[in-house]
Amino acid sequence: MILKRLFNRSPQPDRRCYEAIVAAARHPAFYANWGVADTLDGRFDMVALHTYLVLDRLKGGEPRFRQALVDEFFRDMDRSLRELGVGDVSVGKKVRKMAEVFYGRVAAYDAALAGQGDALVAAVARNVFPDDPQAEGAVPLAAYVQDQRNHLAAQDPAAIAGGHVTFKEPTP
């Protein structure tokens, strides 16, 4: 199985989709213009947010792909921790904590998007800007989330599950 992954010419659809998620999450506007912390936590939050957006788009369908995408997310978190030098004994505990945080974010964004008014701004502020809940970047980031949801809604779920997803550029 490892050799298949090493010598496979094109990545699996879940990997291609995840790579697009990471590329979108690394857009400099989030960090330079909106004040998202350019730290491990800030980058985790942006990858988690973009992963959530894709999972949200695929709700009600594509359950195998959705699970494969979540699995890819956590494989990447595991790899990243190991690259940072976290010991084997600690990696499992840290990934479990990341899973708790991720699923907490998913629940918060689901509730906020089901609510009205500034619920999404509050959820973004609380999760992405925990040290500054009044952060000015929460408003444009929440607007970006709404805009991105609309953009993803126009994309075919089968195409996304095939690894073909696009994200809009954030506008400053």
**Positive/negative CA dihedral, 108, 109, 112, 113:** negative
Rounded Cα distance, 120 and 143, in Å = 9
Q: How much is the pLDDT for 6? A: 60
Q: What is the pTM of this model?
A: 0.91
Q: How open is the CA angle 68-72-75, to the nearest 5 degrees?
A: 135
Q: What is the pLDDT of residues 47-85, one digit of tens each?
A: 999 999 999 999 999 999 999 999 999 999 999 999 988
Domain boundaries, the chain: 12-161
**Rg, C-alpha atoms of the chain:** 16
pLDDT in tens, 84-141: 888 888 888 999 999 999 999 999 999 999 987 789 999 999 999 999 878 999 999 9
Q: What CATH number does the domain located at 12-161 have? A: 1.10.357
